Amino acid sequence: MQRRFFFWFTVALLILFWLVALRFNFSQSAMSVRFSWLGIPACAQVSPAFQLSDVPEGTDRLSFNMTDRQMPTFHHGGSTIKYTGSNTVAQGAIKYTGPCPPRDEHHTYRWTVQAIDPAGNVLDTATAEAVFPP
């Protein structure tokens, strides 16, 4: 009798965990982003080209934001663009303040990309980092 109770109690806990995981989407992010600073001049406002993969179905817009890991309080900004279904975002497509570390310094910059549905919900988020100058 005790074994049967523990069996059903364990089954109930597993079902509960599964339901909570579905509700709060504990799965790992599938979307990814890559970029390179090669060919991007210092202190310019020309964004790099981006390569995306596994952009969620239902994505309407992509929001890009850049952060300097050594100076996180400096606002580089970013912009939101319409998602056309392409896995490539062209160089110069994002409006932002470009990387401009002090002379003889290298800074690591992180791009965060959010996939957004028509209602404004964030479907997934991906990040990528690279050192500038390359």
Of the listed ranges 18-27, 40-49, 59-68, 87-96, the least confidently predicted one is 18-27
Mean pLDDT (the chain) is 89
Determine the pLDDT at residue 12. 59
DSSP state at residue 44: -
* Average confidence (pLDDT) over 103-122: 97
Q: How many CB atoms lie within 10 A of CB 45?
A: 13
Determine the pLDDT at residue 91. 97
**Does residue 12 lie in a domain region?**
no
Cα–Cα dist 112/119, whole Å: 20
**Does residue 101 lie in a domain region?**
yes
* Average confidence (pLDDT) over 84-99: 97
Structural domains counted in the chain? 1
More confident residue, 84 or 25: 84
* Average confidence (pLDDT) over 74-89: 96
Q: 97 lies in which domain range?
A: 29-132
Cα–Cα dist 134/122, whole Å: 31
**Does residue 63 lie in a domain region?**
yes
Tokens of 61: 């817009």
**Does residue 22 lie in a domain region?**
no
**Does residue 17 lie in a domain region?**
no
CATH number, position 72: 3.90.280.10
One-letter-per-residue 3-state SS of 52-93: EECCCCCCCEEEEEEEECCCCCCCCCEEEEECCCCCEECCCC
22: confidence class by pLDDT, cuts 50, 70, 90: very low
**Does residue 14 lie in a domain region?**
no
Rg (CA), the chain: 21
* Average confidence (pLDDT) over 94-123: 97
**Does residue 62 lie in a domain region?**
yes
* H or E element at residue 3: helix 2-24
**Does residue 87 lie in a domain region?**
yes
Residues 6+ apart with CB under 8 A from 132: 37, 40, 42, 99, 101, 106, 107, 108, 109
